Amino acid sequence: MSEIAATDTDAQPERDAAAQQEDLLRIGDDAYSSRLLIGSSSYPNPQVMMDAIDASGAELVTVAIRRVNVQSPAPESHLDLIRKGGYRVLPNTAGCYTAKEAVLVAQLAREALDTDLIKLEVIGDDETLMPDVEQLLKAAKQLIDDGFTVLAYSNDDPITCRKLADMGCAAVMPLGSPIGSGMGIVNPYNLRIIREVVPDTPLIVDAGIGTASDAAIAMELGYDGILLNTAIAEAQHPVAMARAMRLAVASGRLAYQAGRVPERIYAKASSSMEGRVGS
């Protein structure tokens, strides 16, 4: 029995690796083994940023196009370091408040970085940083028509998310809570509804994640990935938190696939009541 058990144990990592290869995050025409997407701002220094990205296992790193020189990135700039590290850049339209602004920034990113990928953000105000739904939908339609692969940042409204998915966004990214708040998943019920009404388009929780358990909860709800920045960049130990997030996303995904036990109001004994001593 011990030899059989040892053989089975030795084979488990190979089975896990094979399963991971089959369970890829597909966005547009591309597939990624990591379901954690990571931001590139607010780190203590560039070295910590690169170490954290490496520890996270992320393959897509988002960069705010309005805050970097994409046409002539300086040597050792954040953008230059990310590209030299072999990571794929996901440009974003952070800082845009109208559809016109967002479309122009996306076009600049495509020309400078030679990518159709764009994380679309259209913000309504400086206080809440919540999406402006009207402008968001308008920008998403224009960019999709122009051939972009759009990952759209949205509020946690099932109707808005369904509209974004129906118009052809490659991924819809509802917030867990306001940007940079670290409040975690404040409305899991809406996120659950969004998963039901958007069954086929990839869903990625974007904004508000504060710690590893938040990421695991989102993944256990059936989400396809997590995008975060502040939770890692402003942690006391960013590299350690990046590793924790990587494990949480993988754990949450596996738990979702495994299928949790039904929730019950009353207790249910885990051992059979039949054949009890003295019965």
Q: How many angstroms separate the CA atoms of 244 and 57, rounded? A: 11
Give the mean pLDDT per block of 10 residues along the chain (279 residues).
50 55 88 95 93 96 79 68 92 95 95 94 91 96 97 96 97 94 93 96 95 96 96 96 97 95 85 63
The 10 Å Cβ neighbour count of residue 84 is 11
Residues in Cβ contact with 180 at an 8 Å cutoff, skipping those fewer than 6 apart? 129, 207, 229, 230
207 is in an annotated binding site: yes
180 is in an annotated binding site: yes
State the catalytic residue, choosing from 84, 119, 138, 141.
119
Structure tokens at 4: 């059989």
Domain ranges of the chain: 26-258
Is 268 in the active site? no
pLDDT at residue number 78:
81
57 is in an annotated binding site: no
Return the biggest CA–CA distance within the chain.
Answer: 82
Query: Where is 174: in which H helix or E strand?
Result: strand 171-174
- State whether the Cα torsion 177-205-192-172 is positive or negative: positive
Structure tokens at 123: 């913000």
201 is in an annotated binding site: no
The domain at 26-258 falls in which architecture? Alpha-Beta Barrel (3.20)
